[in-house]
Amino acid sequence: MDRLVHIGKKNCVFHPTDSPGHIIKIIHEDILKTEIRGIDLMSKVDPNHEFTLFAQVNSLPQGYQFSKRVTSLCPFLLNTDELAEVVMEYGGKDLMHLMTYSKFRKNTWLSILKGFDGLFQGVVKMVDAKISHSDIKPANITFKNDKLFLIDAGLIAEFHKIYPSEFMNPYLFFPVESNIISLLHNFKKVKISVSDITDYLSLKPAIYLFNITEKQFGFDMYRKFHEEILDFNAENRQVNAVEIVEKFDVYGLAMTLLIIANYIYAFDTKLATDLFIFLIESKVLHFNPLKRATAKESQRRYKRFLIMFVEEHNTILKYVKLLTFSVSNRLNFT
Ligand SMILES: Nc1ncnc2c1ncn2[C@@H]1O[C@H](COP(=O)(O)OP(=O)(O)O)[C@@H](O)[C@H]1O
Ligand SMILES: [Mg+2]
Protein backbone atom coordinates (compact mmCIF):
# COMPACT_ATOMS: atom_id res chain seq x y z
CA MET A 1 0.00 0.00 0.00
CA ASP A 2 1.40 3.39 -0.99
CA ARG A 3 1.91 5.83 1.84
CA LEU A 4 0.01 9.09 1.56
CA VAL A 5 2.51 11.81 2.49
CA HIS A 6 0.60 15.00 1.84
CA ILE A 7 -3.02 15.97 1.22
CA GLY A 8 -3.63 19.20 -0.69
CA LYS A 9 -6.72 20.68 -2.35
CA LYS A 10 -5.42 20.09 -5.87
CA ASN A 11 -2.61 17.63 -5.24
CA CYS A 12 -1.81 14.54 -3.22
CA VAL A 13 1.63 13.11 -2.62
CA PHE A 14 2.38 9.38 -2.27
CA HIS A 15 5.51 7.46 -1.33
CA PRO A 16 5.17 4.15 -3.20
CA THR A 17 6.14 1.12 -1.11
CA ASP A 18 7.44 -0.81 -4.14
CA SER A 19 9.63 2.12 -5.24
CA PRO A 20 10.95 3.94 -2.16
CA GLY A 21 13.38 6.00 -4.27
CA HIS A 22 10.46 7.85 -5.83
CA ILE A 23 7.63 10.18 -4.88
CA ILE A 24 4.40 10.41 -6.84
CA LYS A 25 2.47 13.66 -6.78
CA ILE A 26 -0.99 13.44 -8.32
CA ILE A 27 -2.15 16.86 -9.47
CA HIS A 28 -5.36 18.34 -10.80
CA GLU A 29 -5.22 19.71 -14.35
CA ASP A 30 -5.97 23.20 -13.01
CA ILE A 31 -2.42 23.40 -11.69
CA LEU A 32 -0.76 21.24 -14.35
CA LYS A 33 0.47 24.12 -16.54
CA THR A 34 2.17 26.00 -13.71
CA GLU A 35 3.69 22.78 -12.36
CA ILE A 36 5.16 21.82 -15.77
CA ARG A 37 6.45 25.34 -16.27
CA GLY A 38 8.09 25.37 -12.84
CA ILE A 39 9.72 21.98 -13.40
CA ASP A 40 11.04 23.10 -16.82
CA LEU A 41 12.49 26.32 -15.46
CA MET A 42 14.20 24.48 -12.61
CA SER A 43 15.69 21.75 -14.78
CA LYS A 44 17.28 24.43 -16.97
CA VAL A 45 18.86 26.18 -13.99
CA ASP A 46 19.87 22.95 -12.26
CA PRO A 47 20.38 20.28 -14.97
CA ASN A 48 22.61 18.15 -12.71
CA HIS A 49 20.14 18.28 -9.83
CA GLU A 50 22.50 19.75 -7.28
CA PHE A 51 19.75 21.48 -5.29
CA THR A 52 16.55 20.28 -6.96
CA LEU A 53 15.22 16.79 -7.66
CA PHE A 54 14.52 15.05 -10.93
CA ALA A 55 10.82 15.28 -11.84
CA GLN A 56 8.79 14.14 -14.81
CA VAL A 57 5.11 14.75 -15.63
CA ASN A 58 3.05 11.85 -17.03
CA SER A 59 -0.62 11.39 -17.80
CA LEU A 60 -2.36 8.95 -15.48
CA PRO A 61 -2.64 5.33 -16.78
CA GLN A 62 -6.09 4.80 -18.39
CA GLY A 63 -8.72 3.28 -16.12
CA TYR A 64 -6.68 3.99 -13.03
CA GLN A 65 -8.70 4.09 -9.82
CA PHE A 66 -7.72 5.18 -6.35
CA SER A 67 -8.90 3.27 -3.30
CA LYS A 68 -11.93 4.45 -1.30
CA ARG A 69 -9.71 5.33 1.64
CA VAL A 70 -7.56 7.59 -0.53
CA THR A 71 -10.49 9.30 -2.31
CA SER A 72 -12.18 9.98 1.01
CA LEU A 73 -9.05 11.90 2.03
CA CYS A 74 -8.41 13.52 -1.38
CA PRO A 75 -11.84 13.86 -3.07
CA PHE A 76 -10.45 15.49 -6.24
CA LEU A 77 -8.86 12.10 -7.12
CA LEU A 78 -12.33 10.71 -7.97
CA ASN A 79 -12.29 12.24 -11.44
CA THR A 80 -9.24 10.58 -12.96
CA ASP A 81 -9.72 12.29 -16.37
CA GLU A 82 -8.67 15.57 -14.82
CA LEU A 83 -5.45 14.28 -13.26
CA ALA A 84 -1.77 13.98 -14.10
CA GLU A 85 1.10 12.48 -12.15
CA VAL A 86 4.48 13.93 -11.36
CA VAL A 87 7.09 11.25 -10.71
CA MET A 88 9.96 12.62 -8.65
CA GLU A 89 13.10 11.40 -7.04
CA TYR A 90 12.50 10.94 -3.30
CA GLY A 91 14.35 13.76 -1.56
CA GLY A 92 14.11 12.55 2.04
CA LYS A 93 12.02 14.08 4.82
CA ASP A 94 11.17 17.77 4.63
CA LEU A 95 12.51 20.14 7.30
CA MET A 96 9.08 20.85 8.76
CA HIS A 97 8.61 17.12 9.25
CA LEU A 98 12.07 16.79 10.83
CA MET A 99 11.37 19.63 13.28
CA THR A 100 7.94 18.26 14.18
CA TYR A 101 8.45 14.52 14.40
CA SER A 102 12.14 13.71 14.76
CA LYS A 103 14.16 13.55 17.92
CA PHE A 104 16.74 16.33 18.11
CA ARG A 105 20.11 15.14 16.95
CA LYS A 106 22.84 17.72 16.97
CA ASN A 107 24.83 16.01 14.20
CA THR A 108 21.84 15.99 11.87
CA TRP A 109 21.15 19.67 12.44
CA LEU A 110 24.78 20.59 11.89
CA SER A 111 24.61 18.74 8.54
CA ILE A 112 21.39 20.56 7.72
CA LEU A 113 22.96 23.93 8.51
CA LYS A 114 25.90 22.99 6.27
CA GLY A 115 23.46 21.94 3.55
CA PHE A 116 22.08 25.48 3.43
CA ASP A 117 25.26 26.54 1.66
CA GLY A 118 24.07 24.48 -1.34
CA LEU A 119 20.69 26.21 -1.23
CA PHE A 120 22.27 29.68 -1.13
CA GLN A 121 24.36 28.64 -4.15
CA GLY A 122 21.15 27.44 -5.80
CA VAL A 123 19.45 30.78 -5.19
CA VAL A 124 22.46 32.56 -6.74
CA LYS A 125 22.03 30.38 -9.85
CA MET A 126 18.30 31.15 -9.98
CA VAL A 127 19.00 34.87 -9.66
CA ASP A 128 21.51 34.65 -12.54
CA ALA A 129 18.79 32.99 -14.63
CA LYS A 130 16.27 35.60 -13.39
CA ILE A 131 13.85 33.13 -11.89
CA SER A 132 12.49 32.80 -8.38
CA HIS A 133 11.29 29.77 -6.46
CA SER A 134 9.11 32.14 -4.39
CA ASP A 135 7.92 29.55 -1.90
CA ILE A 136 11.02 28.67 0.11
CA LYS A 137 10.03 27.39 3.56
CA PRO A 138 10.78 24.33 5.76
CA ALA A 139 8.04 22.18 4.15
CA ASN A 140 9.55 22.79 0.69
CA ILE A 141 13.10 21.74 1.59
CA THR A 142 14.04 18.07 1.91
CA PHE A 143 17.13 16.50 3.46
CA LYS A 144 18.88 13.44 2.03
CA ASN A 145 22.50 12.20 2.22
CA ASP A 146 23.68 15.41 3.89
CA LYS A 147 22.21 17.54 1.09
CA LEU A 148 19.21 19.84 0.94
CA PHE A 149 16.82 20.05 -2.01
CA LEU A 150 14.21 22.59 -3.00
CA ILE A 151 10.89 20.98 -3.91
CA ASP A 152 7.49 22.32 -4.99
CA ALA A 153 7.49 23.90 -8.43
CA GLY A 154 4.07 25.51 -7.85
CA LEU A 155 5.17 29.15 -7.65
CA ILE A 156 8.42 29.08 -9.62
CA ALA A 157 8.42 31.92 -12.15
CA GLU A 158 10.55 34.36 -14.07
CA PHE A 159 11.32 37.62 -12.26
CA HIS A 160 8.99 39.72 -14.40
CA LYS A 161 6.04 37.53 -13.38
CA ILE A 162 6.56 37.74 -9.62
CA TYR A 163 5.25 41.30 -9.06
CA PRO A 164 2.50 42.28 -8.84
CA SER A 165 0.67 39.11 -8.07
CA GLU A 166 -2.50 38.09 -6.29
CA PHE A 167 -0.90 35.23 -4.39
CA MET A 168 0.93 37.61 -2.08
CA ASN A 169 -1.12 37.18 1.07
CA PRO A 170 0.37 38.14 4.42
CA TYR A 171 2.35 35.06 5.06
CA LEU A 172 5.31 34.25 7.27
CA PHE A 173 7.67 33.18 4.50
CA PHE A 174 6.79 35.84 1.92
CA PRO A 175 9.01 38.87 2.25
CA VAL A 176 7.42 41.95 3.73
CA GLU A 177 7.76 43.89 0.47
CA SER A 178 5.62 41.42 -1.47
CA ASN A 179 2.73 42.15 0.88
CA ILE A 180 3.32 45.87 0.55
CA ILE A 181 3.47 45.66 -3.23
CA SER A 182 0.21 43.71 -3.36
CA LEU A 183 -1.39 46.19 -0.95
CA LEU A 184 -0.38 49.01 -3.28
CA HIS A 185 -1.55 47.05 -6.28
CA ASN A 186 -4.86 45.78 -4.93
CA PHE A 187 -5.96 49.11 -3.55
CA LYS A 188 -4.39 51.07 -6.40
CA LYS A 189 -2.49 53.18 -3.89
CA VAL A 190 0.83 54.86 -4.41
CA LYS A 191 1.72 55.04 -0.75
CA ILE A 192 0.62 53.05 2.26
CA SER A 193 -0.18 54.55 5.65
CA VAL A 194 0.69 53.57 9.20
CA SER A 195 -2.83 52.16 9.69
CA ASP A 196 -2.37 49.93 6.61
CA ILE A 197 0.74 48.59 8.25
CA THR A 198 -1.03 48.01 11.57
CA ASP A 199 -3.80 46.12 9.74
CA TYR A 200 -1.21 44.19 7.87
CA LEU A 201 0.78 43.35 11.00
CA SER A 202 -2.30 42.11 12.81
CA LEU A 203 -2.63 39.52 10.05
CA LYS A 204 0.98 38.51 10.08
CA PRO A 205 1.73 35.38 12.07
CA ALA A 206 5.41 36.38 12.04
CA ILE A 207 4.68 38.67 14.96
CA TYR A 208 4.26 35.67 17.22
CA LEU A 209 7.65 34.53 16.20
CA PHE A 210 9.24 37.93 16.68
CA ASN A 211 7.74 38.27 20.13
CA ILE A 212 9.33 34.97 21.04
CA THR A 213 12.70 35.89 19.59
CA GLU A 214 12.55 39.30 21.25
CA LYS A 215 12.24 37.60 24.64
CA GLN A 216 14.91 35.06 23.81
CA PHE A 217 17.47 37.32 22.22
CA GLY A 218 16.69 40.71 23.67
CA PHE A 219 16.13 42.33 20.27
CA ASP A 220 13.37 44.88 19.80
CA MET A 221 12.22 43.21 16.64
CA TYR A 222 8.69 44.48 16.67
CA ARG A 223 9.72 48.15 16.62
CA LYS A 224 12.35 47.43 14.01
CA PHE A 225 9.79 45.69 11.87
CA HIS A 226 7.58 48.81 11.89
CA GLU A 227 10.46 51.15 11.22
CA GLU A 228 11.83 49.16 8.33
CA ILE A 229 8.48 48.89 6.62
CA LEU A 230 7.87 52.63 6.97
CA ASP A 231 11.41 53.32 5.77
CA PHE A 232 10.94 51.14 2.76
CA ASN A 233 7.64 52.81 2.02
CA ALA A 234 9.12 56.29 2.36
CA GLU A 235 12.00 55.45 0.05
CA ASN A 236 9.74 53.86 -2.51
CA ARG A 237 6.77 55.83 -3.64
CA GLN A 238 7.35 54.00 -6.88
CA VAL A 239 8.47 50.53 -5.89
CA ASN A 240 11.20 49.27 -8.15
CA ALA A 241 10.22 45.64 -8.33
CA VAL A 242 13.13 44.69 -10.61
CA GLU A 243 15.64 45.81 -8.03
CA ILE A 244 14.16 43.85 -5.16
CA VAL A 245 12.76 40.69 -6.72
CA GLU A 246 16.14 38.95 -6.48
CA LYS A 247 15.89 39.21 -2.67
CA PHE A 248 12.62 37.26 -2.55
CA ASP A 249 14.21 33.81 -2.16
CA VAL A 250 16.94 35.14 0.15
CA TYR A 251 14.14 36.09 2.57
CA GLY A 252 12.62 32.59 2.31
CA LEU A 253 15.95 30.95 3.16
CA ALA A 254 16.60 33.43 5.98
CA MET A 255 13.15 32.95 7.50
CA THR A 256 13.61 29.16 7.30
CA LEU A 257 16.94 29.53 9.14
CA LEU A 258 15.22 31.68 11.76
CA ILE A 259 12.64 28.94 12.35
CA ILE A 260 15.49 26.44 12.67
CA ALA A 261 17.25 28.78 15.16
CA ASN A 262 14.05 28.83 17.21
CA TYR A 263 13.85 25.05 17.08
CA ILE A 264 17.51 24.54 17.99
CA TYR A 265 17.27 27.07 20.85
CA ALA A 266 15.75 24.58 23.28
CA PHE A 267 18.66 22.16 22.76
CA ASP A 268 21.62 24.33 21.91
CA THR A 269 21.28 27.95 23.02
CA LYS A 270 24.75 28.94 21.83
CA LEU A 271 24.37 27.66 18.27
CA ALA A 272 20.84 29.11 18.02
CA THR A 273 22.01 32.51 19.25
CA ASP A 274 24.99 32.50 16.86
CA LEU A 275 22.65 31.72 13.97
CA PHE A 276 20.14 34.36 14.98
CA ILE A 277 22.77 37.07 15.38
CA PHE A 278 24.29 36.06 12.05
CA LEU A 279 20.93 36.43 10.26
CA ILE A 280 20.41 39.94 11.62
CA GLU A 281 23.97 41.27 11.44
CA SER A 282 24.70 39.91 7.98
CA LYS A 283 21.42 41.47 6.76
CA VAL A 284 20.49 38.16 5.14
CA LEU A 285 17.28 38.51 7.15
CA HIS A 286 16.26 42.11 6.69
CA PHE A 287 12.73 43.41 6.43
CA ASN A 288 13.71 46.22 4.10
CA PRO A 289 14.61 44.63 0.73
CA LEU A 290 16.82 47.59 -0.20
CA LYS A 291 19.02 46.87 2.80
CA ARG A 292 18.77 43.08 2.65
CA ALA A 293 21.87 41.23 1.40
CA THR A 294 21.79 40.14 -2.25
CA ALA A 295 21.83 36.43 -3.09
CA LYS A 296 25.60 36.50 -3.76
CA GLU A 297 26.36 38.45 -0.58
CA SER A 298 24.14 36.10 1.43
CA GLN A 299 25.89 33.04 0.04
CA ARG A 300 29.34 34.43 0.85
CA ARG A 301 28.35 35.59 4.33
CA TYR A 302 26.63 32.31 5.15
CA LYS A 303 29.73 30.37 4.11
CA ARG A 304 31.78 32.49 6.52
CA PHE A 305 29.24 31.81 9.27
CA LEU A 306 29.60 28.06 8.65
CA ILE A 307 33.36 28.21 8.88
CA MET A 308 33.33 30.35 12.03
CA PHE A 309 30.48 28.77 13.99
CA VAL A 310 29.29 25.45 12.63
CA GLU A 311 32.70 23.95 11.95
CA GLU A 312 33.63 24.85 15.53
CA HIS A 313 30.68 22.77 16.83
CA ASN A 314 31.70 19.93 14.54
CA THR A 315 35.25 19.93 15.85
CA ILE A 316 33.99 19.83 19.44
CA LEU A 317 31.67 16.94 18.57
CA LYS A 318 34.49 15.01 16.87
CA TYR A 319 36.70 15.62 19.89
CA VAL A 320 34.01 14.40 22.30
CA LYS A 321 33.50 11.29 20.15
CA LEU A 322 37.22 10.60 20.05
CA LEU A 323 37.42 10.92 23.82
CA THR A 324 34.46 8.64 24.51
CA PHE A 325 35.85 6.17 21.97
CA SER A 326 39.24 6.00 23.67
CA VAL A 327 37.65 5.82 27.12
CA SER A 328 35.35 2.98 26.10
CA ASN A 329 38.28 1.24 24.42
CA ARG A 330 40.26 1.41 27.59
CA LEU A 331 37.28 0.20 29.59
CA ASN A 332 36.92 -2.76 27.24
CA PHE A 333 40.58 -3.46 27.57
CA THR A 334 40.59 -3.73 31.32
N1 LIG B 1 10.46 14.75 -4.09
C2 LIG B 1 10.00 14.71 -2.83
N3 LIG B 1 10.70 14.03 -1.88
C4 LIG B 1 10.26 13.93 -0.60
N5 LIG B 1 9.11 14.49 -0.18
C6 LIG B 1 8.36 15.18 -1.07
C7 LIG B 1 8.76 15.33 -2.42
N8 LIG B 1 7.82 16.05 -3.06
C9 LIG B 1 6.88 16.34 -2.15
N10 LIG B 1 7.19 15.83 -0.95
C11 LIG B 1 6.39 15.93 0.30
O12 LIG B 1 5.07 16.33 -0.02
C13 LIG B 1 4.78 17.62 0.52
C14 LIG B 1 3.95 18.43 -0.46
O15 LIG B 1 4.58 18.51 -1.72
P16 LIG B 1 4.69 19.91 -2.48
O17 LIG B 1 5.30 19.66 -3.81
O18 LIG B 1 5.36 20.89 -1.62
O19 LIG B 1 3.14 20.30 -2.69
P20 LIG B 1 2.29 21.59 -2.27
O21 LIG B 1 2.31 22.45 -3.51
O22 LIG B 1 0.93 21.10 -1.94
O23 LIG B 1 2.95 22.25 -1.12
C24 LIG B 1 6.15 18.23 0.84
O25 LIG B 1 6.06 19.19 1.89
C26 LIG B 1 6.96 17.01 1.23
O27 LIG B 1 6.68 16.60 2.55
MG1 LIG C 1 4.88 22.70 -0.68
pLDDT tops 90 at residue 35: yes
Q: Does 82 share its domain with 99?
A: no
Three-class SS state of 209: helix
Q: Does 310 share its domain with 262?
A: yes
Residue 80 lies in a domain: yes
- Which one has a higher pLDDT value, 99 or 237? 99
Residue 139 lies in a domain: yes
Q: Does 66 share its domain with 16?
A: yes
Three-class SS state of 143: strand
Burial of 105 (0-12, 13-18, 19+ CB in 10 A): exposed
The pTM assigned to this predicted structure is 0.87
Residue 326 lies in a domain: no
Q: Does 194 share its domain with 270?
A: yes
pLDDT of 160: 86
Kindly report the length of the chain.
334
Report the pocket of ligand 1 as residue ranges, CB < 6 Å.
5-6, 8, 11, 13, 23, 25, 53, 88, 90-91, 94, 97, 139-140, 142, 151-152, 154
Ligand 1 pocket test target in 2, 89, 137, 142 with most atoms within 8 Å of CB: 142
pLDDT, one tens digit per residue, over 52-107 is 999 999 998 888 889 999 999 999 999 999 999 999 999 999 999 999 999 999 99
pLDDT of 333: 45
Structural domain that includes position 174: 94-318
Q: Atom 15, ligand 1: which residue's CA is nearest?
A: 152
Mean pLDDT of 242-269: 90
pLDDT, one tens digit per residue, over 121-167 is 999 999 999 999 999 999 999 999 999 999 999 999 999 888 766 55
pLDDT of 144: 98
Domain count, the chain: 2
C-alpha distances (whole Å) from 328 to each of 259, 276, 306 are: 37, 37, 31
C-alpha distances (whole Å) from 183 to each of 101, 135, 163 are: 37, 19, 12
pLDDT, one tens digit per residue, over 313-334 is 777 777 776 776 666 665 554 4
CB 295 within 8 A of CB 282: no
Q: Does 118 share its domain with 83?
A: no
Q: What percent of the chain has pLDDT over 70?
A: 74
Q: Which atom of ligand 1 is nearest to the CA of 97?
A: 27
- Which one has a higher pLDDT value, 226 or 161? 161
* Domain edge (last residue) among 57, 90, 123: 90
Q: Of 55-64, 84-93, 173-182, 213-222, which range is least confident?
A: 213-222
Query: If you average pLDDT over every residue of the chain, what do you get?
Result: 84
